[in-house]
Amino acid sequence: MSIYWQQWVRRWRLPEMRLLFLALWISALAVAAVGFFTDRVESAMERQASQVLGGDLVVSSARPLPDDYRQLAAQLGANMAEVISFRSMLSYGETTQLVQVKAVSSNYPLVGELQGAKDLTAGGVSLKGQLPASGQVWAEPRLFHSLQAPVNATVVLGNSQFALTTVVTKDPSQGVNFFQLAPQVIIPLADLPATGLLSPASRAEFSLLFTGSDRVIRALKAELETKLTPTERIRSLQEGAQNVQQALQRAGRFLGLAALLSVVLAGAAIVLTSASLVRHETRTVAVLKAFGLARRRILVDYLGNLWLLALIAGVLGAIVGFFLQALLAQWLVQVVAIELPAASWTSAWVSLVTALVMVTGFALPALLRLLDTSPMQILQGSSPTQKTLANLLILSILPAIFVLLWIQARELGLAAWVFFGLLAAIALFWWITKLVLNGLARLSTRPAWQWLALLRQSRRSLLLVVVFAMGLFTLLLLTALRTDLINRWQASVPTDAPNYFLINIQANDQAKLEQFLQQNQLQTNLYPMIRGRLVEINQQPVSPEDYPKAEAKRMLEREFNLSSFAAFPETNTLLAGKWFDAQTQGFSIEQGIGETLGFKLGDSLTFDIAGQRFTEKITSVREVRWDSMQPNFFVIAAPGLLLDKPYTLITSLHIPANKPELIPQMIRQFPSITAIDTSAVLGQVRSLVEQATLAVQGVFTFTLVTGLLVLWSALQAQKPERQRELAILKSLGASSKLLRQRIWLEFALLGGLAGALAGGLTILAANLLGYYMFDLAVSFNPWFMLLGALVGAVLVASAAWLNLRSLLGVAPMVLLKA
């Protein structure tokens, strides 16, 4: 042991060993910092999302849920709340109103808190730990308005009387289906049987909400999934509330991608450093072999040394990464005022494993190559053979990169995509750079192009350009996606996003309402809404029993909201077919519903609308953004169709905060209209967007730092060679001014080239990724090439100057001491 330790200490004196340590440490640090930070932001976002869902896991059914489930949750140690929700009529004196009754158990809500007030004019305050007492009912403000009932009025639900005691301004789980038409009331679960409202035939939704540690929730979910009957469905955060799901997914994917790219960048640094370590150690190994040491012994010896190095780098990286992340989070929290939960220790392990995989995967081929060289070959002074490199690359470096990507992505598909994308990018960069540099070198022998002569040595920098290009590509890609993502998110919830839905607008009120809206400078479109039940697909009758999936059954059981209009909805994307023009007939359907119920472009659908049958072919398929806060329809008929059927209108609009009187005015003038306030949901979505933005910016900072560090390692790896070169030029009479100019010009050109390449690829990749992964519209942005070239030139030349500046002082005497 002590011999190994001594050897380690001796080897530590090698500059390459220290550089390798630095590269490993930087990788571990980056992985740990990004990991810790991502972890915290992700759990902050999950917490937000679970509020909307009502728990980490929700099981619901149209029938009462078996007691097994409750027992299972208790056994596993999960927290549980129970909700039964159904529609009923509520009466106050002579007035009646359809309400959505939500009977809740005593520990509702599991996540988040209810907010409310004892007074209609007061703002909501936290009602944490409080729920309606027996005989009390809490309700949304609009119920008080529609009943014109005061607080503490007595209302009747079924056989029971309740006191209407509290105005609920915010229910965290309301985001799940904020389109519900009837105002929501909350009663104690224990009071439900006495109302007599719940008979076996009544349509209700029975839900069990669960929270707990990740492990508990995973176990519970796995258990429950084996027991579910077709009418029961399970929802977890991943498949949770639709309006937050997309934003969460995009943010998660982006964070994953950013972390992936930092690992790859750091990998480049390790490869560069390992290569230079091998160059340095060739002679030593030759001597060891000449003295009769076995290959195996030498390999074990080196590998042991490197693993120890990686272990130390990994541990130190995790520790420093943790503190770095804590600092960044603290700073960001001050700026954005969001609470971040504590980080888990997983990232520390990941950083340790990353360092070990990196040193094994990237140093092993170099070591094997080192061992393959015969002592004679080295003593004769020829350079080690490169023949085996290709095999080793395939056997070791590529799998290592893939494993690292997998560790980071935690998703095989994403890892594979990035892996092959990277290989393609590296090959492309390599090939173009080689072509350009060789071309320039050839050109430079012509008298007029002599100033390009300094680029001839740059052929050695082929690898450097590829590494720079990869680094810059990463930075540019993240910049592009970050900007696009943030813009897109913000556009999806702009400050003037609709905060009210108006439904039940009678067709004969349309003209007058439009006039009213115009007078108040409110711009909006009114969409007709026709209710119809799907009865036939391609003239074949369909019924809920034909479908095993609960979701499909539910869709067929209830009536669809159909519409009919001419302008393509702004927030939708056309996936197939053609949108309506003046001549076309037919339906335009939402993609998901087609998949669920099994119909597609060209099929015909028959709806039963108020007893009449109506059949059309599907002429287009749309993708709908459900988080757009606009009225969205599963099925839209060609303009003009269906308007002979009974219909109402629907719209969404933004009521400015300083004009709260508009809605009551409107309701007085058009009593049939129901106005639904969505600002609470909007607030949730907006706060989610803020968190996602924060995460993206935080991770971007880390990747930026990693990129710069890799640039530095790449320069560092070339330093000995550069030093010799500068000494030769000095001995030939080059002045330090000329050498300075050479460094600046050479690296500005290399950086510019790398940047332009990176910019070109960014345009391609950002569009592909945006389209396939992030659901963003494709936009070609040629400025990225110019931006890349500029950033590359300035960044690389400055970094090179800082790194190589000290070499200008080299005494050319070193050449004589060879």
Partner 1 sequence: MCSSTDRCIVDTLFCQLVPDMTETKTVIAVSHLQKQVLAAAANKDKETLSILSDINLTIVAGTSVAITGASGSGKSTLLGLLAGLDLPSAGQIALFGQDLTQLSEDQRAALRLGKVGFVFQSFHLLEHLTALENVLLPLELGRNSGDLKQAALAALEQVGLSSRAQQLVTKLSGGEQQRVALARAFVTQPQLLFADEPTGNLDRHTGQEVSALLFRLQRDYQTTLVLVTHDESLAAQCDYWYRLAEGRLQRQEQSA
Say if residues 623 and 573 touch (Cβ distance below 8 Å): yes
Site string for partner 1, 279-318 (x = CB under 8 A): ----------------------------------------
- Residue placing its CB nearer to partner 1 in the complex, 205 or 725: 725
Torsion sign across C-alpha atoms 19, 22, 24, 27: negative
Least distance to partner 1 from the beta carbon of 799, Å? Answer: 21
For residues 133 and 104, give the distance between their C-alpha atoms in angstroms, rounded to a whole number. 11
| Angle formed by the axes of helices 783-804 and 736-772, nearest 10° | 140
3-state secondary structure of 581: coil
Least distance to partner 1 from the beta carbon of 461, Å? Answer: 8
- Residue placing its CB nearer to partner 1 in the complex, 120 or 738: 738
Lookup: tokens for 543: 């019924």
Sole window of 104-112, 338-346, 451-459, 683-691 interacting with partner 1 (rule: CB under 8 A):
451-459
Site string for partner 1, 343-382 (x = CB under 8 A): --------------------------------------x-
Least distance to partner 1 from the beta carbon of 812, Å? Answer: 4
DSSP secondary structure letter of residue 614 = E
Q: Does 221 bind partner 1 (CB under 8 A)?
A: no
Amino acid at 49: A
Binding test (CB under 8 A) with partner 1, winner from 459, 531, 617, 625? 459
Q: Scan residues 703-722 and list those touching partner 1 (CB under 8 A).
A: 721
Query: Residues with Cβ < 8 Å from 113, sequence gap 6 or more?
Result: 126, 127, 128, 172
Site string for partner 1, 723-752 (x = CB under 8 A): -xx--xxxxxxxxxxx--------------
What end-to-end distance do the CA atoms of the chain give, in Å?
36
Least distance to partner 1 from the beta carbon of 725, Å? Answer: 6
3-state secondary structure of 57: strand
Say if residues 607 and 560 touch (Cβ distance below 8 Å): yes
Q: Scan residues 378-407 and list those touching partner 1 (CB under 8 A).
A: 381, 383
Sole window of 16-24, 423-431, 441-449, 464-472 interacting with partner 1 (rule: CB under 8 A):
441-449
For residues 73 and 80, give the distance between their C-alpha atoms in angstroms, rounded to a whole number. 7
Least distance to partner 1 from the beta carbon of 355, Å? Answer: 32
Binding test (CB under 8 A) with partner 1, winner from 229, 231, 450, 806? 450
Least distance to partner 1 from the beta carbon of 450, Å? Answer: 6
Least distance to partner 1 from the beta carbon of 412, Å? Answer: 40
- Residue placing its CB nearer to partner 1 in the complex, 141 or 812: 812
For residues 652 and 718, give the distance between their C-alpha atoms in angstroms, rounded to a whole number. 62
Amino acid at 213: S
Least distance to partner 1 from the beta carbon of 785, Å? Answer: 27
- Residue placing its CB nearer to partner 1 in the complex, 145 or 279: 279
Sole window of 63-71, 332-340, 439-447, 706-714 interacting with partner 1 (rule: CB under 8 A):
439-447
- Residue placing its CB nearer to partner 1 in the complex, 270 or 455: 455
Q: Scan residues 781-800 and list those touching partner 1 (CB under 8 A).
A: none
- Residue placing its CB nearer to partner 1 in the complex, 165 or 377: 377
**814 C-beta neighbours (distance < 10 Å), count:** 15
Sole window of 454-462, 464-472, 563-571, 784-792 interacting with partner 1 (rule: CB under 8 A):
454-462
Q: For partner 1, how many residues bind (rule: CB under 8 A)? A: 32
CA 267 to chain centre: 23
For residues 757 and 469, give the distance between their C-alpha atoms in angstroms, rounded to a whole number. 7
Least distance to partner 1 from the beta carbon of 747, Å? Answer: 16
Binding test (CB under 8 A) with partner 1, winner from 123, 129, 292, 447? 447
CA 677 to chain centre: 28
- Residue placing its CB nearer to partner 1 in the complex, 381 or 541: 381
DSSP secondary structure letter of residue 394 = I
- Residue placing its CB nearer to partner 1 in the complex, 128 or 460: 460
Q: Does 142 bind partner 1 (CB under 8 A)?
A: no
- Residue placing its CB nearer to partner 1 in the complex, 159 or 736: 736
Q: Does 456 bind partner 1 (CB under 8 A)?
A: yes
Least distance to partner 1 from the beta carbon of 808, Å? Answer: 10
Q: Does 445 bind partner 1 (CB under 8 A)?
A: yes
Say how many residues make up the chain: 818
- Residue placing its CB nearer to partner 1 in the complex, 141 or 720: 720
Least distance to partner 1 from the beta carbon of 713, Å? Answer: 20
Least distance to partner 1 from the beta carbon of 356, Å? Answer: 34
Sole window of 266-274, 355-363, 776-784, 805-813 interacting with partner 1 (rule: CB under 8 A):
805-813
- Residue placing its CB nearer to partner 1 in the complex, 356 or 726: 726
User: Burial of 303 by CB count in 10 Å (0-12 exposed, 13-18 middle, 19+ buried)?
Assistant: middle
Report the relative pairing of strands 587-590 and 612-623 from DSSP bridges. Answer: parallel
| Angle formed by the axes of helices 679-731 and 242-290, nearest 10° | 20
- Residue placing its CB nearer to partner 1 in the complex, 449 or 783: 449
For residues 70 and 499, give the distance between their C-alpha atoms in angstroms, rounded to a whole number. 38
For residues 499 and 524, give the distance between their C-alpha atoms in angstroms, rounded to a whole number. 12
Q: Does 533 bind partner 1 (CB under 8 A)?
A: no
Say if residues 149 and 155 touch (Cβ distance below 8 Å): yes
- Residue placing its CB nearer to partner 1 in the complex, 513 or 743: 743
Binding test (CB under 8 A) with partner 1, winner from 120, 122, 300, 813? 813
DSSP secondary structure letter of residue 343 = P
CB hemisphere CA count around 30 (13 angstroms)? 31
Least distance to partner 1 from the beta carbon of 472, Å? Answer: 23
Binding test (CB under 8 A) with partner 1, winner from 311, 392, 441, 704? 441
User: Burial of 808 by CB count in 10 Å (0-12 exposed, 13-18 middle, 19+ buried)?
Assistant: middle
Name residue, tokens 């711009």: 523
Q: Does 453 bind partner 1 (CB under 8 A)?
A: yes
Least distance to partner 1 from the beta carbon of 732, Å? Answer: 5
For residues 783 and 793, give the distance between their C-alpha atoms in angstroms, rounded to a whole number. 15
The H or E element spanning position 303 is helix 295-336
For residues 508 and 298, give the distance between their C-alpha atoms in angstroms, rounded to a whole number. 91
Say if residues 108 and 81 touch (Cβ distance below 8 Å): yes
For residues 484 and 383, give the distance between their C-alpha atoms in angstroms, rounded to a whole number. 49
Helix locations, 671-732, DSSP H: 679-731
Sole window of 285-293, 452-460, 597-605, 672-680 interacting with partner 1 (rule: CB under 8 A):
452-460
Least distance to partner 1 from the beta carbon of 789, Å? Answer: 24
CA 518 to chain centre: 40
Say if residues 588 and 622 touch (Cβ distance below 8 Å): yes
Q: Does 320 bind partner 1 (CB under 8 A)?
A: no
- Residue placing its CB nearer to partner 1 in the complex, 552 or 750: 750
Least distance to partner 1 from the beta carbon of 813, Å? Answer: 5
For residues 124 and 815, give the distance between their C-alpha atoms in angstroms, rounded to a whole number. 80
Lookup: tokens for 412: 């095989």
Residue closest to 188 by CA, chosen among 144, 137, 234: 137
Residues in touch with partner 1 (CB under 8 A): 381, 383, 441, 445, 447, 450, 453, 456-457, 459-460, 721, 724-725, 728-738, 811-813, 815-818
